[in-house]
Amino acid sequence: MTSRSLRHGAAGAPWKGRRVAVVGLGRSGQAAARLLCRAGCRVSVTDAGRHAALEEAGAALRAQGVETVELGGHTEALIERSDLVVVSPGLAELVAPIQWAARRGLPIISEIELAFRFCPASVVAVTGTNGKSSVVTMLAQVVRATGRPAIACGNLGLPFSAVIDQLTPQSLAVVEVSSFQLIRCDTFRPAIGVLLNLGTNHLDRHGQREAYIQAKARLFQQQTARDWAVFNGRDPLVAGLAKGVRAQVVWFGENRTNPPWARLSEHTQTALGDNAQAVLQTCRILGVPDPLTWQVIRTFRGLEHRREPVGRIHGVTYVNDSKSTTPDSLVFALQQARGPLVVILGGRDKGLDFEPLAMVLREERIRGIVLIGESRARLRLVLGPSEKLREASTLEAAIREAMALAHPGDTVLFSPACASFDMFRDFEERGRAFKAIVHRLNGTDPSPVGWRLARPGPSQGRAGEAGGSRQEDEPRAANHEPGALSYR
What share of the chain in percent tops pLDDT 70?
A: 86
Rounded Cα–Cα distance for residues 399 and 488 (Å): 48
Strand partners of residue 228: 192, 248
Q: Given this model, what pLDDT does residue 478 score?
A: 29
Give the full edge-to-edge strand order of the sheet including 172-176.
150-154, 172-176, 122-127, 192-195, 228-232, 248-252
Q: Which of 111, 256, 118, 135 minimizes the C-alpha distance to 193?
A: 135
208 pLDDT band, cuts 50/70/90, is low
Of the candidates 131, 360, 337, the one whose C-alpha atom is nearest the C-alpha of residue 238 is 131
| Alpha-carbon span 25 to 57, nearest angstrom | 8
Confidence of residue 486 (pLDDT cuts 50, 70, 90): very low
What is the C-alpha to C-alpha distance for residues 197 and 460, in angstroms, rounded to an integer?
Answer: 7
pLDDT band of 485, cuts 50, 70, 90: very low
Cβ count near 214 (within 10 Å): 16
Give the pLDDT score at 466. 29
| Across 464-479, average pLDDT | 28
Instruction: Using alpha carbons, select from 136, 86, 80 the residue that is nearest to residue 103.
Output: 80
**Which range, of 109-123, 270-284, 441-455, averages the lowest pLDDT?**
441-455
Task: Inform me whether the pLDDT recorded for 119 exceeds 80.
Answer: yes
Cβ-contact 373, 416 below 8 angstroms? yes
Average pLDDT over residues 89-95: 82
CA angle 265, 271, 273 (to 5 degrees): 100
Instruction: Read off the pLDDT of residues 394-453 as tens digits, 9 standing for 90 and up.
Output: 999 999 999 999 999 999 999 999 999 889 988 999 999 999 999 999 885 444 333 333
Task: Give tens-digit pLDDT for 1-24.
Answer: 333 333 333 334 489 999 999 999
pLDDT at residue 456 is higher than 60: no
Per residue in 358-377, pLDDT tens? Answer: 989 999 999 999 999 999 99
> Which amino acid does the sequence have at 154?
G
> Does 278 have pLDDT greater than 60?
yes
Min mean pLDDT across 62-66, 134-138, 455-459 is at 455-459
Q: Does the structure show a pLDDT above 90 at 179?
A: no
Give me the pLDDT at residue 264, please. Answer: 98
pLDDT at 350 over 80: no
pLDDT for 200: 57
- The pTM score is 0.74
Other Cβ atoms less than 10 A from the Cβ of 50: the count is 12
pLDDT of residue 156: 87
**pLDDT score of 142 more than 70:** yes
Domains of the chain in start order, with CATH, are 17-106 (3.40.50.720), 119-299 (3.40.1190.10), 308-442 (3.90.190.20)
Closest CA to 46 of 80, 13, 4: 80
pLDDT of residue 471: 26
Q: In the Cβ-directed half-sphere of 436, how many Cα atoms lie within 13 Å?
A: 7
